[in-house]
Amino acid sequence: MWYICIVNDIMMIKKLILAGLLGILSLSASCKQDKDMAKITDFKALNNKGVEVDFKDYEGKVLLIVNTASKCGFSPQYDGLEALYQKYKDKGLVVIGFPCDQFAGQEPGSDEQIEEFCRLNHGVTFPLMAKGDVNGENAHPIFEFLKAQAPKEEYRGLKAKATQTMLKGISKSYKKESDILWNFTKFLVAKDGVTVKRFAPVAEPKDFEKDIEAFL
């Protein structure tokens, strides 16, 4: 009888050791997953001069990334974006424009023409990237990351919701809820490079100034 008890005790100890090892392995895998989590600073992009920009250069900054267009009804938001940039750039805010022509062909110009338009009409001094896609198979990896981190945007009020419904009806590249619906969707990225807040095209830059201040 005592022999059976000893065998049972040994088996129980083995089970406890095995459970402990599995727990350690699981914790190690979880820590590795957290360590390997993508951040905005893991990406690179070409600017409008064709020069590669390593987003590691923005380590510790708050980024406001916007898909822009020159011939859009929301284009006057360039003024508000530049105002935010001027007000907070010395505190660590970087506004970055990614021109895109996926929405009703409202950004038909070359990178040089886009820059000239922004400078002459809106006094834009914040960085502009090369024109590219934000939805679909050719979407820039930065926007795939941003959409994964912040897949939804909020539309408040009847007018905003009516605009959302209208845009859904005409946006040809909008296929799923996380896709960008239209020009001037804004992504505010915290200093950790992971936390992202998303603001709809109808949201004026001044509407989320408090969010910027909180991230700074």
DSSP-derived secondary structure for 4-27:
HHHHHHHHHHHHHHHHHHHHHHHH
Mean pLDDT of the region 60-86: 98
With 0-12 / 13-18 / 19 or more C-beta atoms within 10 angstroms meaning exposed / middle / buried, residue 79 is middle
pLDDT score of 7: 44
Q: Judge whether residue 94 has pLDDT over 70.
A: yes
Please check the confidence at residue 81 and state whether its pLDDT lies above 60. Answer: yes
Instruction: Using pLDDT thresholds of 50, 70 and 90, give the confidence band for residue 37.
Output: confident
pTM, to two decimals: 0.84
Q: How do residues 123-137 score in pLDDT, each as one tens digit?
A: 999 999 999 999 999
Over residues 86-115, the mean pLDDT reads 98
pLDDT of 15 over the 90 cut: no
- Which pLDDT band, with edges at 50, 70 and 90, does 31 fall under? very low
Among candidate residues 31, 72, 100, 118, the one labeled active-site is 72
What whole-number percentage of the chain has pLDDT above 90? 82
Q: Is the pLDDT at 8 greater than 70, yes or no?
A: no
**Annotation says 72 is catalytic:** yes
- The mean pLDDT value for 170-175 works out to 96
The pair of structure tokens assigned to 55 is 């987003």
| pLDDT tens digit sequence for 196-214 | 999 999 999 999 999 999 9
* Domain boundaries 40-215, corresponding CATH code: 3.40.30.10
pLDDT tens digits, one per residue of 48-72? 999 999 999 999 999 999 999 999 9
- Find out whether 70 and 98 touch, Cβ atoms under 8 Å: no
pLDDT the model gives residue 54: 98
Pairwise CA distance, residues 126 & 119, whole Å: 10
Helical H segments across 111-152, by residue range: 111-122, 141-149
